[in-house]
Amino acid sequence: MSDRLSTTFAALADPTRRAILARLALGETSVQKLAEPFAISLPAISKHLKVLEHAGLITRGRDAQMRPCKIDAAGFIGVEHWLEEYRKLWGQSMDKLESHLEVMKAQQAVRPAPKKKSRSVKRQGEGNARKD
Amino acid sequence: MSDRLSTTFAALADPTRRAILARLALGETSVQKLAEPFAISLPAISKHLKVLEHAGLITRGRDAQMRPCKIDAAGFIGVEHWLEEYRKLWGQSMDKLESHLEVMKAQQAVRPAPKKKSRSVKRQGEGNARKD
DNA sequence: GATGTATTTAACCCATGAGTTAATTAACCG
DNA sequence: CGGTTAATTAACTCATGGGTTAAATACATC
């Protein structure tokens, strides 16, 4: 997969990782804190962080035995720049489409309480990744 | 991977698919035409197109026995909108970072590099996808 | 130096994704 | 109808990605 952009997009193609980024958008924090909201193991989180770091989406420091993670613009810039090319393709209509998206997101946000889900749903539910 | 954004990012995480999009940015075209630049089989291209379509990045029509592909804003909007959240994190510094990226890309590109700065980003072939 | 805490590495399992070739569907044309 | 062109489906291989548990590393403190 080699190239940087592919690596970055691949990193973003996972709801858990996007949720981590969303959390980091609020500020630097430790791996443990990052892991809290998820129903997956710490090593799994650690792997996600490695992927994000490798994609240039986060950086990691060191504070005692903690490795605080911080969101990093670099990876985002790559995507931003790539998008640039296409943005001009639908110039005007973009606004309309964006507000349409807005509506869809709103609908999704207010959808009624889920019906009884039963069935041991241990794996963190795919659709629940917040904030992406 | 269920959710839309994950699907879209995953679709973009492949250089062949991004190259296809780059080609489609120039205009609607047939599957065969799309396949030409690549050293992979037609079925492989067909699969890529299905992925792109499912990600809302292209739409497909019908013209005789051809299924012309057309780039579609929808998928891009999703990404655009997702980025929006993060864009504000580094507001001002964004411009600086982008020009920095510009420099890096220039360095990465071969090296006919004349010292004069050119404003337009050339279409340096996105995907040298795999060949056997 | 032993102990506790934070995180990563190792060694696996299993699902999925990108590719293949061969066969099939779909539309046009003589 | 039979043949040709355009594209997809089927059936398979192989590599990789996300998850696991158990063990190892790194630092702080006693």
Instruction: Please indicate, yes or no, if residue A121 is contained in any of the structural domains.
Output: no
Q: What is the rounded CA–CA span in Å between residue B106 and residue A132?
A: 32
Judge whether B90 is closer than 8 Å to chain A, CB to CB.
yes
Cβ B89–A73 below 8 Å, yes or no? yes
Is residue A132 domain-resident? no
Is residue B109 a part of any domain in this protein?
no
Residue B122, pLDDT score: 36
Q: pLDDT tens-digit profile of B66-119?
A: 999 999 999 999 999 999 889 888 765 555 555 555 555 555 555 444 444 434
Contact B89, A71 (CB under 8 A): yes
> In this predicted structure, what is the pLDDT of residue A65?
93
pLDDT digits (tens, 9 = 90+) for A79-130: 999 998 898 887 655 555 555 555 555 555 554 444 333 333 333 333 333 3
Domain membership flag for residue B40? yes
Q: Nearest nt (C1') to B64 (CA)?
A: C27
Distance separating alpha carbons of residues B53 and A8, to the nearest angstrom:
21
Tell me the pLDDT of chain A averaged across its residues.
79
A62 to chain B nearest CA, in Å?
Answer: 22
Which distant-in-sequence residues (6+ apart) come within 8 Å of A30 by Cβ?
A63, A66, A67, A68, A69
Q: What is the CATH number of the domain that holds B75?
A: 1.10.10.10
Is there a domain that residue A101 lies in? yes
Residue B114 lies in a domain: no
* Host domain of residue A105: 4-110
CA distance A32 to chain B (A): 23
Q: With respect to residue A105, please indicate whether it lies within any of the assigned structural domains.
A: yes
**Please, which positions of strand D sit below 7 A from a protein CB?**
5-11, 16-23, 26-28
Asked if A57 and A21 count as a contact pair (C-beta separation under 8 A), the reply is: yes
Q: What is the pLDDT of residue A132?
A: 41
Helix (H) or strand (E) holding B105: helix B93-108
Per-residue pLDDT at B88: 84
Separation between the CA of A13 and the C1’ of C9 (whole angstroms): 24
Rounded to a whole number of angstroms, the distance between the first and last alpha carbons of chain A is 24
Give the model's pLDDT for residue A32. 96
The answer to whether the Cβ–Cβ distance between A97 and B79 falls below 8 Å is no
Task: Look at residue B5 and tell me whether its pLDDT is greater than 90.
Answer: yes
Eight-state DSSP code of residue B59: E
Question: What's the pLDDT score for residue B100?
Answer: 55
**Domains in chain B, number:** 1
Q: Is A126 domain-assigned?
A: no
Cβ of A43 less than 7 A from strand C: yes
Q: State mean pLDDT over B36-46.
A: 97
* C-beta atoms of B9 and A9 within 8 A: yes
What spatial distance separates the first Cα and last Cα of chain B, rounded to whole Å? 29
Distance CA B129, CA B124 (A): 14
Structure tokens at A107: 């609908």
